Amino acid sequence: MSLFLSTHINRIDKKGRVSVPAGFRAALAGQSFHGVVLIRSSAHPALEGFGWDMMHELSNRLDEFDIFSDAQDDLATAIFGEAVPLSFDGEGRIVLPVELMEYAGVVEQAAFVGMGRKFQIWEPAALKERQSQARSAIRDKGLTLPREARG
């Protein structure tokens, strides 16, 4: 499989380590970098996560901009400057940096939410609230999925 699916809640030990769900690790198998990349979510008190190949893709897109241009600079600062690569240990765990833990408000448990090509990490209680919020947004606005994304 190569998509991040479903939600897993794992414990954070006193070293800040947390197991990445086995299914997520399977989705990342075969990548050059054995780990994940995390970045603060701009919209939520949560962390966005994906594999190294995604960073490569973002880098390629960034190369389309003129080097030293304002747009290139803004995007690179906000995206690459804030992205944190975290490699797996032998047991498939990562160590969450304290700044990221504080940003997401996680303390002793982290909820991994599969979102297809990416995933998010939430404080479990905050996630519950977010989920009901998302459900009602879909209902109220009548949101649906478009036919297919190009590319």
Catalog residues that contact its own copies under the rule CB under 8 A: 1, 3-7, 23, 32-33, 37, 42-44, 48, 52, 55-56, 58-64, 67-68, 70-71, 73-85, 113-118, 120, 130-131, 134-135, 137-139, 141, 143, 145-151
Tell me the C-alpha distance between 3 and 117, whole Å: 6
Nearer to its own copies, 81 or 90 (CB): 81
Measured at the CA of 79, the angle between CA 75 and CA 85, to 5 degrees, comes to 155
Beta-carbon neighbour count of residue 125 at 10 Å? 11
95 binds, among DNA, its own copies, none (CB under 5 to 8 A by kind): DNA
Q: Are 123 and 104 in contact (CB under 8 A)?
A: yes
Exposed e or buried b per residue across 99-120, where buried means at least 16 C-beta atoms within 10 angstroms of its C-beta: ebbeebebeeebbbbbeeebbb
Q: What residues make contact with DNA under the rule CB under 7 A?
A: 8, 10-11, 13-15, 17-22, 25-26, 87, 89-93, 95, 97
Closest approach of its own copies to the CB of residue 125, in Å? 15
* Residue 16 CB, nearest approach to its own copies (Å): 16
Nearer to DNA, 22 or 138 (CB): 22
Paired with 28 in beta bridges are none
